[in-house]
Amino acid sequence: MCKKNPLGVRKDVLLQPDFFGDMTQDELWQQKYQEVIDFLETNHRNPSKHRIEEHLLLNFIKHNRKLLNAGKMKADRVEKFNELSALGERYKRKNQYE
């Protein structure tokens, strides 16, 4: 897997119109949301910026946090993202010496 291509998929395959199938943006958002929830529940930590395989999850969280703060997030996603943020706060890093 290449550092510049964390999916491990060739660029010409990514540019094909049916790469994501017949999924709508809402379905893609829901799928990524569920991946982040599953990651948090299995690993009991937030995605790391230092692990390439976790970048897509971290970018999803960061992008949606920016949308929420700017007031541009769709109303139906706000409650779900707030639940995701609350779950992330549970696994926020702690000082190991406390």
Task: Dump pLDDT digits (tens) for 19-44.
Answer: 567 789 999 999 999 999 999 999 98
pLDDT in the model for residue 10: 63
Q: Which residue has the tokens 């990651």?
A: 39
Mean pLDDT of residues grouped by 10 in the chain (98 residues)? 58 57 89 96 91 94 96 95 93 71
pLDDT in the model for residue 68: 96
pTM value is: 0.72
Q: Name which of 96, 90, 97 is nearest 45 in CA terms.
A: 90
State the angle between helix axes of 55-70 and 75-90 in degrees (0 to 180), rounded to the nearest 10. Answer: 120
* Average pLDDT across the chain, whole number: 84
Cα gap 90→98, rounded to integer Å: 16
CB contact burial 18-40 (16+ within 10 A = b; e otherwise): eeeeeeeeeeebeebbeebeebb
